[in-house]
Structure formats: C-alpha cells, structure tokens
Amino acid sequence: MKTSVHLSHSNGYRELGMYDESILELESINQDDVWTYEVIKAKYLTYWDAKQFEMAEAMTKTMRIYHNNRTEGWLLRAECINESKGAKEAAEMLIEDEDNFKEQADVLFAIGRYLALADDLNKAKDYIRRAIKLNGKYRSEFLEDDAFDPVWESF
C-alpha cells in the first residue's frame, strides 16, 4: 500500500480518537518512507492528540535528526516541553540552540512567548522586539496573544 494511503488512514483514525490504530497504520509504512517528514509529523500529531507528550517530544527529536533544516521540529518540541515541564524549560531548550535561529523570527517569537509565560518579562521583550524586527507579522500576533498581557503591562 502507498504511504499516502497509510497517512490518510492514520489521519482518519486520529480524528476519530483511535490513536492506537493511527500509530499501527503508520508503523506499517515501508522502511524507505518511515523517516519522511510527513510520516514523522503524523506520528507526532497522533501522540500530541492522545496527550502522550513524551512520545510526541520523541517524534520532534526525530524531526530534528532527519529534517534539521525545518524549524517546525524545534517549535513542536518546545510546545511538548511546555506541556510536560513548563514554559521556562521550553524557552531554555530553544535558547540553547539560539545560534541556529538568530535570524528565524518564528523561533524568536516562540522564545519570547515562553519567557512571557514564565514571567521573565525583560528577556521576553528582547526576543519579541527581535522577532518583530525580522518579520512585522509578529506585531499583530503579539498584540492578540493573551500570553503577552504581562509584557504589555510592564511597558
């Protein structure tokens, strides 16, 4: 069976809340395609929806190994860490690898958001400013996201 069919079946199972069946469908994908981004992300989504955040985080590590050029794996890992360990740890994980992302507005914005959630407002301001400077679209996201209310109040 084609990988696209397995992915479609897995997605259907996931949407129905049949997480074990979704993973089993993904596990039946042939060895040549098992490390493709689409398959790894499908596993991540299934574990995330099942609230198995440690397994979801494992999938994000796999994304980072096999698809290191995509920042989404880093951002999804941070979200898993935020869910399981908290915003401070999520920010710290991204900051550890900041050299890889100093020109990536989405990552800088995420760091700022996690720092705001962790009440480290001065650092949050710095990351938000840098993200907005790189990409103006984050100005409206900053204004709309409740996570930044404490940052607003500190100005």
Q: What is the DSSP letter of 147?
A: G
Average pLDDT over residues 83-87: 95
CA distances for 87 relative to 28, 29, 75, 117, 135, angstroms: 35, 35, 12, 6, 23
Handedness of CA 42, 47, 48, 49 (dihedral sign): positive
Q: pLDDT tens digits, residue range 103-152?
A: 899 999 999 999 999 999 999 999 999 999 999 999 888 888 888 887 76
Is the pLDDT at 20 greater than 90? The verdict is yes
Count of C-beta atoms within a 10 Å radius of residue 80: 24
Residue with tokens 């401070």: 88
Q: pTM (2 decimals)?
A: 0.86
Q: Can you read off the two tokens belonging to residue 83?
A: 């869910």
Model pLDDT, residue 155: 61
Summary mean pLDDT of the chain = 92
Query: pLDDT: is 148 or 44 the higher one?
Result: 44
**All domains in the chain, ordered by first residue:** 1-70 (1.25.40), 87-155 (1.25.40)
